Structure 1
Amino acid sequence: MTETLQGRHIVVTGGTGALGGAVVGKLLDEGAICHVPNAHATAPAHFPFAMHDRVMLAHNVDLSDPAKVEAFYSQVPGLWGSIHLAGGFAMAPVEKIESASFAEMMDTNARTAFLCCRAAIRSMLASDTAGRIVNIAARAALEPRKGAGAVAYAASKAAVAAMTVAMAEELKHKGILVNAVAPSILDTPTNRSDMPDADFTKWVSLEAAAEAIAYLASPANQAMSGTLVPLYGRA
């Protein structure tokens, strides 16, 4: 990268998860200071960066609560970037999806992304920072047929994709670049456990996904905005 993230403050929601850990690790390698909201009272045991001097963990942050989201972002100094990996996944035949389950997917994926984008944008506009926002959509958001069997999930990720493009258009004269990645299946321990007979070599590695996300969040990205980046690997 011609410009680095050295000393820049970046929020990573979902930062204690499998992809989040890879992204935080990549950002730390680039010199960033990572602010990671955590829904629980303590850091998960598997999170390797809990004691890192450039990782600021904030506990008991409910990303579906507007007040808590705003309070979290208000304590991040000089926000440069905000990466939104928090979310969930659910599968069910469409005739068995309850209204509450559909609402949960929309809250977990679309609502949290919106609230975090809004808080980040407010911070960047207040400080006149031409920062970066990166969301996570899904292949099913770009190719809805891939959402068969997971209609609520596909709809929630399609909402994230639409918000990303709309926000990018709205903010293009402010210098704030808004993008999203749209992975197919990520090579995580959970996915390997759930699909033991799959060909893992076709999946997207966490390192490759983290590399793409870090670029979109970096000052080296000077022109990409409103882009939904397919991360399909060999799938």
Structure 2
Amino acid sequence: MTVSFDFTDDVVLVTGVGGALGSAVAEAFLDSGATVCGADLVDSESEDFLLDNPDRIDFYQGDFTDEAQVAAAIEDIVDGHGGLDYLINIAGTWRGGTPVDETDVETFDFLFDVNLKTMFLATKHALPHLRERDGAVVSVSARSSLEGGEGDAIYRATKAGVRILTDSVAEENLGTVRANAVMPSVIDTPMNREMMPDSDFDMWVDPGDIADVMQFLCSDAASVTSGAAVPVYGEA
């Protein structure tokens, strides 16, 4: 069954737009008629920027751990496009390989900055504008946030933070802004294939499939869904 969405005349901001998932989400919203604004630390001309033809989006290069840069980017988007309907918090990364007692504080700070602080700041500054449009926020948690594990405790903690912050935003904005999260496991990306070359890639989830779920969570079809953490890990 084919599912289609229509976001014509809507404005969406995708953070981490240059990554594998971010670019897939941007493509999906572009195909659905939305005006797509994207933010990333990586320059759009870099070989690490995976979105084809970035000129199709309104791109903001910047550090979304810096509140002043976040505030300025969102104000520019609202001024330039007349408002903001959806925020998709994708900016994030993974680090691991050591137990807690061997993990340096720099790794702790880095993961909380990239995975949780970016989501907090973007959501904080987007919310006043999203309320004007009865908009939605969708953020990226992780399946591993549901339990402890060996070697990547800090990553799991940051993604658990995304879930809890999502639920709190939903509670604080009942009837005005819906907030939900998705929980992937291993996404089929070039980086993950390079890191885990002996894995069964067929078990991994395509970024486009996650993009479809994110579109659903922004759509009228999910009008009664807020505060959810939706599994998007398939068989991975």
Tell me if TM exceeds 0.5. Answer: yes
Residue 85 (1) aligns with residue 86 (2): no
Q: Deviations over 1:24-50 (max 9, x none)?
A: 111111001110113245433443031
1:48-67 alignment, distance < 5 Å: 48-52=52-56, 55-59=57-61, 61-67=62-68
Paired amino acid for 2:9 = G
Is the CA contact (8 Å cut-off) linking 1:83 and 1:217 kept in structure 2?
A: no
SS at match of 2:52: coil
Secondary structure at the counterpart of residue 121 of structure 1: helix
Task: Give the 5 Å matches for 1:188-199.
Answer: 188-199=189-200
Shift of 1:218: 2.4
Report the equivalent of 2:6.
4
Residue 116 of structure 1: aligned partner: 122
CA–CA distance in 1 between the matches of 2:68 and 2:196?
38
Structure 2 residue identity aligned to 1:83: I
> How far, CA to CA, are the matches of 1:49 and 1:124 in structure 2?
27
Supply the distance in 2 between the matched residues of 1:141 and 1:168 (Cα, whole angstroms): 19
TM-score of the superposed pair, with normalisation by structure 2: 0.91
Which residue of structure 1 lines up, in the alignment, with residue 138 of structure 2? 134
- CA gap of 1:216–1:44, structure 2 versus 1, over 3 A, is farther
Separation in structure 1 between the aligned mates of residue 53 and residue 216 of structure 2, nearest angstrom: 21
Mapped partners of 1:104, 1:2: distance in 2? 37
Runs of 4+ in 1 over 6 A off after TM superposition: none
1:89-104 pair list within 5 angstroms:
89-91=94-96, 92-104=98-110
Aligned residue among 162, 167, 187 for 1:165? 167
- 1:191 and 1:40 map into 2 onto residues whose CA distance is 18
Gaps of 5+ in 2: none
* Residue pair 1:5, 1:219 contacting (<8 A) in 2 also: no
Task: Give the number of aligned pairs.
Answer: 227
Q: Distance in 1 between matches of 2:138 and 2:208?
A: 16
Q: Does 1:68 align with 2:69?
A: yes
Sort the Cα spacing of 1:199 and 1:166 in 2 relative to 1 into closer, same or farther, 3 A.
same
